[in-house]
């Protein structure tokens, strides 16, 4: 959907204190690792083939964040794992049906263990530099048994896998007796299976990303604006003309997504959709060749470059022409929208307008096409966030200076999560500050820290 006007008709933030992010193609930024001068071990042929020495910095940072490894330790672990994988693959070929699985211990200089059903294989395993373990069941036999379980499994026994360390086929059940019933129904020998109880019910996980398509239950397609949260509920901001409160939605993949919780059109053109637990709000907009990070919602001035992402025409850019524009559609008048030179077409409605990394608004309507050019209007995002009490999903950032452990909070009327308009006055740390640019406040953007947004009065 795209509301048409009745008549035919991306840049850095120009202020100190707010750094903009570009295209995002890797893991989220992690805290810097302590300086580590230790060299990684010399890579063998497998590690060289797999390019371990050229591991991307974002991968190494993520390993530091999640596994507590320095850069050298991460490279060492990757090297050992590459070599272990190659050794295990060769032994699997050599051992044939007797091969019962392989695993590493996960340490920086990890040990490879290879299981076999033949005691005579132990010497060959040790000669390859691995530890041998004798077990009763071959991996092929366990995997074939799992395939039989897979064909008859229900959500009451949602997870099945071969635990090579324990040499057993594991069935996780959410309901007592479900695992045993599955084993009996398939004729799999009970001696191969261990049933464990779980309270987790696996589900598919999908990302909410600006610019992606979504579909309304009654028909029609619009585009996601920006991922948001409201308390523990995740969802997205979009255009009000796309649906009314209660309208159900499905995602870009036609999987059930959620429903409209609030919608205004005409008057304004704003709405938000609450997503179900299969969907996760992400701080990204779909760009021309990757994800564009969203770091805030500072409204940019007239003349600024702005880009739009939509499910029909993708990524297009132009400039901001006027703020606080009024437009009369056949359905009625909307006020407070921003006029731009960015093109759009039906289906782009609700999609993201972003300047640098600052979220600007959601597509409302316009004239022309992306072939002939045109004019479009977006509903500014900050009033939408304020109306529905939503928090924009943004990428992590340095929170900046603040109270140390045990120190008192500065106090005042400023609050993270609140939407401020230019001219608003707050107090913080005993001082008064006037808002210079409309935005939604977030941790790290306290008035003393961001002179681009706040002026001491």
DSSP 167-184: TEEEEEESSTTHHHHHHH
Asked whether residue 30 is domain-assigned, the answer is no
Same domain membership, residue 155 and residue 20: no
Per-residue pLDDT tens for 200-218?
777 667 899 999 999 998 7
Q: Is the pLDDT of residue 88 over 70?
A: yes
From 156, 171, 197, give the residue that closes a domain: 197
Asked whether residue 33 is domain-assigned, the answer is no
Same domain membership, residue 348 and residue 289: yes
Domain that holds residue 443: 399-457
Same domain membership, residue 420 and residue 369: no
Same domain membership, residue 242 and residue 361: yes
Q: Which two tokens stand for residue 230?
A: 């409201």
Q: How many CA atoms lie within 13 A of 132 on its CB side?
A: 18
From 134, 169, 186, give the residue that closes a domain: 134
Taking residues 184-210, what's their average pLDDT?
89
Contact present, 101 and 85 (Cβ < 8 Å): no
Which candidate in 137, 223, 263, 269 is catalytic?
269
Of 408, 451, 317, nearest in space to 18 by CA:
451
> What CATH number is attached to the domain comprising 83?
3.30.300.50
Asked whether residue 36 is domain-assigned, the answer is no
CA 127 to CA 112: how far, in whole Å? 12
> Under 8 Å CB-to-CB from 389, ≥6 apart: which residues?
230
Contact present, 146 and 138 (Cβ < 8 Å): no
From 85, 115, 134, give the residue that closes a domain: 134
Contact present, 337 and 377 (Cβ < 8 Å): yes
Sheet bearing 291-293, strands edge to edge: 23-24, 291-293, 279-286, 206-210
pTM above 0.85, yes or no: no
Same domain membership, residue 339 and residue 244: yes
Per-residue pLDDT tens for 125-149?
999 999 999 999 999 999 999 999 9
Same domain membership, residue 273 and residue 409: no
Taking residues 318-347, what's their average pLDDT?
91
Question: Domain count of the chain?
Answer: 4
Which candidate in 80, 241, 316, 439 is catalytic?
241
Which candidate in 259, 297, 311, 349 is catalytic?
349
pLDDT-derived band of residue 269, with 50, 70 and 90 as boundaries?
very high
Same domain membership, residue 262 and residue 185: no
Asked whether residue 231 is domain-assigned, the answer is yes
Q: Which two tokens stand for residue 106?
A: 């996960």
Instruction: Report long-range pairs for 385-389 (Cβ below 8 Å, ≥24 apart).
Output: 385/228, 385/237, 385/297, 385/419, 385/440, 386/419, 387/262, 387/264, 387/268, 387/270, 388/230, 388/261, 388/262, 388/270, 388/272, 389/230
Same domain membership, residue 235 and residue 186: no
Residue 66 designated active-site: no
Asked whether residue 177 is domain-assigned, the answer is yes
> What CATH number is attached to the domain comprising 404?
2.10.10.20
Same domain membership, residue 337 and residue 233: yes
Per-residue pLDDT tens for 435-446?
989 999 999 899
What percent of the chain has a predicted confidence (pLDDT) above 70?
A: 83
Per-residue pLDDT tens for 281-314?
999 999 988 899 999 999 898 888 999 999 999 9
Asked whether residue 276 is domain-assigned, the answer is yes
Of 114, 47, 92, nearest in space to 74 by CA:
47
pLDDT-derived band of residue 262, with 50, 70 and 90 as boundaries?
very high
Q: Residue 195, Cβ neighbours under 10 Å: how many?
A: 19
Same domain membership, residue 161 and residue 245: no
Residue 439 designated active-site: no
Asked whether residue 32 is domain-assigned, the answer is no
Same domain membership, residue 436 and residue 415: yes
Residue 349 designated active-site: yes
Asked whether residue 163 is domain-assigned, the answer is yes
Distance of CA 425 to the CA centre of its chain: 34
Task: Report DSSP state, residue 412.
Answer: B
Same domain membership, residue 143 and residue 292: no
């Amino acid at each position: 959907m795209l509301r048409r006007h009745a008549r035919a008709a991306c840049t850095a933030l120009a202020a100190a204190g707010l750094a903009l992010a570009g295209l995002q193609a890797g893991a989220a930024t992690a805290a810097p690792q302590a300086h580590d001068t230790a060299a990684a071990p010399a890579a063998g042929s497998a590690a060289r083939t797999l390019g371990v020495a050229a591991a991307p910095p974002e991968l190494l940072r993520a390993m530091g964040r999640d596994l507590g490894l320095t850069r050298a330790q991460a490279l060492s672990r990757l090297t050992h794992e590459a070599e272990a994988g190659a050794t295990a693959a060769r032994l699997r070929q050599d051992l044939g049906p007797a091969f019962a699985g392989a695993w590493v211990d996960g340490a920086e200089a990890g040990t490879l263990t290879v299981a076999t059903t033949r005691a005579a294989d132990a010497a060959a395993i040790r000669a390859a530099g691995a530890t041998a373990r004798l077990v009763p069941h071959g991996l092929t036999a366990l995997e074939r048994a799992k395939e039989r379980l897979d064909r008859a499994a229900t959500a009451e026994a949602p997870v099945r896998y071969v635990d090579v360390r324990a040499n057993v086929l594991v069935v996780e059940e959410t309901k007592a007796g479900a695992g045993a019933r599955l084993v009996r129904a398939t004729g799999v020998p009970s001696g191969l299976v261990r049933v464990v109880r779980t309270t987790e019910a696996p589900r598919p996980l999908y990302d909410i990303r600006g610019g992606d398509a979504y579909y309304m239950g009654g028909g029609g397609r619009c585009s996601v604006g920006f991922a948001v949260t409201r308390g523990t509920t995740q969802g997205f901001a979009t255009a009000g003309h796309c649906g009314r409160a209660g309208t159900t939605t499905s995602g870009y993949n036609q999987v059930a997504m959620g429903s409209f919780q609030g919608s205004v059109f005409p008057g304004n053109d704003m709405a938000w959709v609450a997503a179900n637990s299969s969907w996760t709000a992400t701080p990204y907009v779909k760009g021309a060749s990757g994800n564009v990070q969203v770091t805030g919602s500072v409204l940019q001035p007239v003349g600024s470059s702005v880009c739009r992402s939509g499910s029909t025409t993708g990524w297009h850019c132009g400039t901001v022409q006027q703020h606080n524009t009024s437009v009369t559609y056949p359905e009625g008048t909307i006020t407070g929208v921003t006029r731009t030179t960015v093109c759009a077409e039906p289906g782009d409605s609700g999609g993201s307008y972003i300047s640098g990394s600052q979220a600007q608004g959601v597509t409302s309507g316009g004239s022309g096409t992306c072939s002939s050019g045109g004019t479009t209007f977006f509903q500014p995002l900050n009033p939408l966030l304020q109306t529905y009490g939503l928090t924009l999903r943004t990428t992590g950032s340095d929170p900046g200076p603040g109270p140390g452990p045990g120190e008192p909070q500065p106090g005042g009327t400023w609050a993270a999560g609140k939407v401020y308009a230019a001219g608003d006055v707050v107090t913080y740390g005993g001082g008064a500050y006037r808002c210079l640019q409309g935005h939604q406040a977030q941790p790290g953007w306290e008035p003393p820290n961001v002179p681009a947004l706040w002026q001491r009065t």
